[in-house]
């Protein structure tokens, strides 16, 4: 009887050791365009669309209503559920960058 109890306890331990308990491990979750301050500081009015693409990359979701507006959005959540969101909107006049709006 004692061996049966030890066997049950041991098999339960082996079975549970393979389980992942909620909250034991969380990883960073990132979505959108990763934007550094260095990238944003390179943006200046007068740059062409090609130069903006070289610095920032293509916008993930070009605006279907306004072809002269490009939005770059970045969102991240760390393991402690702290959320960071950053949005940069670029406005063009023809082929030239006219205005930069940054929202933290």
Per-residue model confidence (pLDDT) at position 31 = 86
Spell out the residues 6+ positions from residue 35 whose beta carbon is closer than 8 angstroms to its own.
Answer: 56, 72, 74, 86, 88
Collect all residues with Cβ–Cβ distance below 8 Å to 55 and sequence separation of at least 6: 39, 42, 43, 47
Q: What is the pLDDT of residue 87?
A: 92
| CA 22 – CA 82 distance, rounded (Å) | 18
Domain containing 85 equals 23-103
Position 29 in a domain: yes
Q: Give the count of domains, the chain.
A: 1
Q: Report DSSP state, residue 15.
A: H
User: What pLDDT was estimated at residue 96?
Assistant: 96
| One pLDDT digit (tens) per residue for the chain, 104 residues | 777 777 777 776 666 666 655 556 677 888 888 888 899 999 999 999 999 999 999 988 777 788 899 999 999 988 888 998 999 999 999 999 999 999 87
**Can you tell me the distance from the alpha carbon of 48 to that of 79, in angstroms, rounded to the nearest whole number?**
39
Q: What is the CATH number of the domain that holds 54?
A: 3.30.1450
Question: Model pTM?
Answer: 0.68
The verdict on residue 84 lying in a domain is yes
CA distance 20 to 25: 8
- Indicate whether 7 belongs to any domain: no
């Amino acid at each position: 009887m004692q061996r049966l109890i030890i066997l049950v306890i041991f098999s339960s331990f082996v079975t549970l050791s393979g389980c992942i308990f909620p909250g034991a491990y969380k990883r960073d979750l990132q979505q959108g365009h990763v934007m550094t301050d260095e990238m944003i500081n390179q943006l200046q009015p007068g740059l062409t669309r090609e130069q903006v693409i070289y610095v920032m990359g293509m916008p993930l979701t070009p605006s279907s209503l306004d072809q002269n507006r490009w939005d770059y959005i970045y969102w991240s959540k760390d393991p402690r559920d702290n959320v960071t969101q950053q949005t940069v909107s670029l406005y063009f006049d023809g082929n030239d960058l006219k205005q930069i709006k940054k929202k933290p």
